[in-house]
Structure 1
């Protein structure tokens, strides 16, 4: 924990006396000693109040830092493609682990991230799935969770955002023009992002967006259970 340099023993024992002496210096001269003696308890009370206020402020800063760094409820993954099975999406598009899953991890001190990309064909895939898990070790991702991705909007244009009930602390699904769908889940200091591109069905059959959204929710719930700390 980061401590305030002003809260060491020297500050607590010396600064109160200095405050009292400074206050007494400002008091009018020439009064009877009895009046000065009656004034001194108030001066010491002032010094004690200043110390107590500083200690309280330091504790508040420390408490704020504790709030800023959430307790992570999920473990880091060494291979997200092994933890993310995508079984529900596989029922729509076929075995997504058959064609060389692409896996990558980033062990950054602030955010530990992992990405897995799956597809249901070697060259021309009718469904591509991208899963990402970000564990936020330094700051709470909650305040920024609902901010839409500018990069995503620039890539695919405007879309419709809907909240998803019963999944993590908060969850939203973003349906983009065409066949792209993104699901984001906030829970326990972690953000889970699942994206699909393509209908998953060969030929000119329209994409069943509702079925893909349902599969995304089911596979996200399974991934969260797989990475949940005991």
Structure 2
């Protein structure tokens, strides 16, 4: 007596099978297995687990690629000699020619490049006074330039924190000065934001000169001017208070050069 074929729920192990069913043309047969039976669909939960594993692997791979990706330097390059890159055309026209090429310093690491430059300038017709032994007295007006290119981390939070600390120091100085005689107040100390220069820029003024601080993506730049001093009175000889527009002009030119 021929029994009815065993019924198997559709979609669980495939359709109901009949004894002696022929091998379909698209069934997979390996050499050591001989003729194989009809292929059976994998249970749904296996596909779900496989999909979850693949999705997890893709997510993990994307996370690794994101975390290990190098930041965009925005076109900035390392500087081998910042004194050569900083032409300072506007400042030299106002103050005087460079004494020499300047003193450059550089530190290169995998995570950042840090360079600086110190340049003295000689005002036209100016000569340093000397003592009886011929030793120079006093000083020359100078410009200091700094440039740090961060190649691994975002310098933004550190830069903003530094500017916030300076702002707090300026406010504290103002509060302290309010309690003393007006003649002793140094009203040249100030911190002001500069628009249109890099991502974030500030000018800091004090009795010693002007400092321009700039954040532009992964680059942090600074430029400061200092006056020359009278050897006898200790008073500044060169008025640098109006040099801010010149410093901004020279800083903009330096940033463009460091991207070339």
> Please, what TM-score do these two structures have when normalized by structure 2?
0.61
CA distance in 2, matches of 1:200, 1:57: 62
1:122-137 matched pairs, under 5 angstroms:
124-137=138-151
Q: What corresponds to 1:90 in structure 2? A: 92
Matched, 1:108 2:139: no
CA distance in 2, matches of 1:52, 1:129: 56
Task: Give the gaps of 5 or more residues in structure 2.
Answer: 1-7, 14-41, 123-127, 129-135, 174-188
197-206 or 143-152, which deviates more: 197-206
Aligned-partner SS, 1:165? coil
Q: What corresponds to 1:217 in structure 2? A: 248
Q: Equivalent of 1:190, from 206, 219, 229?
A: 219
Matched, 1:120 2:150: no
Task: Give the gaps of 5 or more residues in structure 1.
Answer: 1-32
Q: What corresponds to 1:178 in structure 2? A: 207
Q: How big is the alpha-carbon RMSD for the aligned residues of Structure 1 and Structure 2?
A: 3.6
Alignment check: 8 A CA contact 2:201 2:213 kept? yes
Matched, 1:163 2:165: no
Matched, 1:56 2:62: no
Q: Deviations 1:146-200 (Å, cap 9, x if unpaired)?
A: 12179989x999553322111122222222x313322122224221111222379
Alignment check: 8 A CA contact 1:73 1:189 kept? no
Shift of 1:111: 0.9
State how many pairs are aligned. Answer: 192
Higher helix share: 1
Q: What corresponds to 2:34 in structure 1? A: none
Q: What corresponds to 1:79 in structure 2? A: 81
Shift of 1:54: 3.3
